[in-house]
Amino acid sequence: GAVVSQHPSRVICKSGTSVKIECRSLDFQATTMFWYRQFPKKSLMLMATSNEGSKATYEQGVEKDKFLINHASLTLSTLTVTSAHPEDSSFYICSATPRPRGGTDTQYFGPGTRLTVL
């Protein structure tokens, strides 16, 4: 099956620093990647949609200047949390969708990145 990886799996940083999280589709080309945030014992909240070669589309209430998304290639999207604060601590999950093949395609999820901001 299709595999999506995330790096790092967990990161601890100091308040005020920036952290970059990578999401890679390992065995398929992903025209679209999604970034989610999952709070403890809560559901996933869609943050933004990342399309290769174009600007990301952010969901309402998500600060685009704080959560920078870059989808530079068909296999890589990055999420940079800028000037991180403790309230940004969360589990960040990406998903990727293969190139459409004449129908709807499944999203494949990465294993997530645990961010802790001290």
Smallest separation, CB 95 to another protein (Å) = 8
Which stretches of the chain bind another protein, using CB under 8 A?
4, 6, 32, 34, 41-46, 49, 93, 95, 97, 104, 106-112
Closer to another protein at the Cβ: 28 or 34?
34
Q: Quick one: tokens of 105?
A: 């395609």
- Show the beta-strand stretches assigned E in the chain: 4-7, 10-13, 19-25, 30-38, 44-51, 57-58, 67-73, 76-81, 90-98, 108-109, 113-117
Cβ-based nearer residue to another protein, 84 or 92: 92
> Smaller CB distance to another protein: residue 28 or 108?
108
Matching residue, tokens 């998304």: 69
